[in-house]
Homo-oligomer: A and B are copies of this chain.
Amino acid sequence: MNIPKSSYPRIVIIGGGFAGIALAKKLSNKEVQVVLLDKHNYHTFQPLLYQVSTGGLEPDSIAYPIRKILKDYPNFFFRLAEVQQVVYADKTLITNIGTLHFDYLVLATGSETNFFGNTELQKNSMAMKTIPQSLNLRSLILENFEQALLTDEYHERDALMNFVIVGGGPTGVELAGALAEIKKGILPKDYPDLDTRRVQINLIQSGDRILKEMSEKASQKAEDFLESLGVQIWKNVRVTHYDGKTVSTKSDVTFESATLVWAAGVKAASIKGLDAEDLLTAGNRMKVNEFNQVEGLEGVFAIGDVACMQTEDSPRGHAMMAQPAMQQGRHLGDNLLRFLENKPMRPFAYKDKGSMATVGRNKAVVDMKNMHFQGIFAWFVWMFVHLFFLIGFRNRMVVFVNWVYNYIRFDREARLIIRPYQRDYSQFKEEDK
């Protein structure tokens, strides 16, 4: 790979998510050479992906070119690359665009959807971890309704208008809420020749409450909100099979549905060469010490979702969310600079700023250290926080314009099938034969 030689030590960061970007910013204009690798040329603001899927936002407003984030730092190099392997013994990365030597390596590869080895589910269901995936889901949702117009068989039509979301975490809850609002505000007008009251939104949770990382009060209130919007919540139900048409579960509940969204689990995106069993913990996360160092591999660090720092407060590592990722990124930046100055590194301490989820118009739940609140104020807090953390002034403005418009007009105008998701609908026509 064409990276100029430098007299400064080279720190290679794999991944331009919340953790990688926070770290890179800390290292700007310091006496280090920073190489950031990512397979996309943009940073994705993942918390708003569900709004892309449901036509509320354009994809470009939650993405931000990585080169622009760091364009004023002469010690910074970005390469659009996929890392294939780490050869630790040679301190070298093998990528699709060549090899690269590192002095220090930081894994910030984030996480990917976890189907727990169920290949049938993986093949037939939709994930929502990247912008292309979210756009595929957007296309599929709209295509289902276009398809529903083509049949008089009401079983077929119901299956096309039945949405099954597996996973009651923030992603599942927010998507279910957004779909419920579309059902109410948009579908009856867009599809006057369909009986859109028959649209079903099913949210399936394996445990006994949704938003289980949040307070019980928040879980309860989120359930109330969702139910008031007409979402059916299925607790203690575990999905086992989905052939593209029938969703089977461990219980006797089944669903006929053209759309299963899998939001029931993530695993760390591990890299060949650093995936030895003794380096990993549950969900492929890499064990790190309190300085985010991968134990046993000097000069290798991991931050964000891919890192598992087992502490007393979080014996299974920190939550795989933006806040710990950003804090670890910033903290590791300071630590690396201290280390290079031969000062002792400082242990990471997570500052829990709380968590939140939105269910829909005027409906959100917020947990803060000593405060839990729900409803319209929580919803405004949710919006403000998301606008604040979104990178880029233009993105904030465009998202703000969209939100104000959507709020006033009860609308979501980005319901566009720009690239069709070419689903095979033949399963839904069997009865016709």
Question: Considering the chains assembled together, what is the distance between the CA atoms of A152 and B98 in angstroms?
Answer: 13
Does A89 have its Cβ within 8 Å of any Cβ on chain B? no
With A40-B417, A401-B401, A413-B64 as contacts: A2 and B152 at CB distance below 8 Å: yes
Considering the complex, which residues of chain A in the window 199-248 have a beta carbon less than 8 Å from any beta carbon of chain B? Answer: none
Residues of B within 8 Å of A383, CB to CB, are: none
Of the four ranges (under 10, 10 to 19, 20 to 34, 35 or more), the interface on chain A belongs to: 35 or more
Does A385 have its Cβ within 8 Å of any Cβ on chain B? no
With A1-B150, A97-B150, A397-B401 as contacts: A418 and B59 at CB distance below 8 Å: yes
Interface-located stretch among A65-73, A106-114, A307-315, A321-329: A65-73
Copies of this chain held together in the complex: 2
Residues of B within 8 Å of A131, CB to CB, are: 418
Interface contact B419-A132, CB-CB below 8 Å: yes
Does A61 have its Cβ within 8 Å of any Cβ on chain B? yes
Render A388-417 as a binary contact track against B, CB cut-off 8 A, 1 for contact: 000011110110011001000101011111
Contacting residue for A413 out of B65, B191, B192, B402, CB 8 A: B65
Render A41-57 as a binary contact track against B, CB cut-off 8 A, 1 for contact: 11000000000000000
Residues of B within 8 Å of A74, CB to CB, are: 192
Interface contact B193-A4, CB-CB below 8 Å: yes
Does A80 have its Cβ within 8 Å of any Cβ on chain B? yes
Residues of B within 8 Å of A71, CB to CB, are: 189-190, 192
Residues of B within 8 Å of A68, CB to CB, are: 189-190, 411, 413, 415
Residues of B within 8 Å of A77, CB to CB, are: 193
Interface contact A417-B41, CB-CB below 8 Å: yes
Does A298 have its Cβ within 8 Å of any Cβ on chain B? no
Interface contact B60-A416, CB-CB below 8 Å: yes
Question: Considering the chains assembled together, what is the distance between the CA atoms of A80 and B411 in angstroms?
Answer: 21
Closest to A419 in B: B132
Q: Please give 11 more A-B residue pairs, beta carbons under 8 A apart, in addition to A59-B416, A135-B418, A394-B413.
A: A2-B149, A2-B150, A2-B193, A40-B416, A41-B142, A42-B418, A58-B61, A60-B416, A65-B190, A67-B415, A132-B418
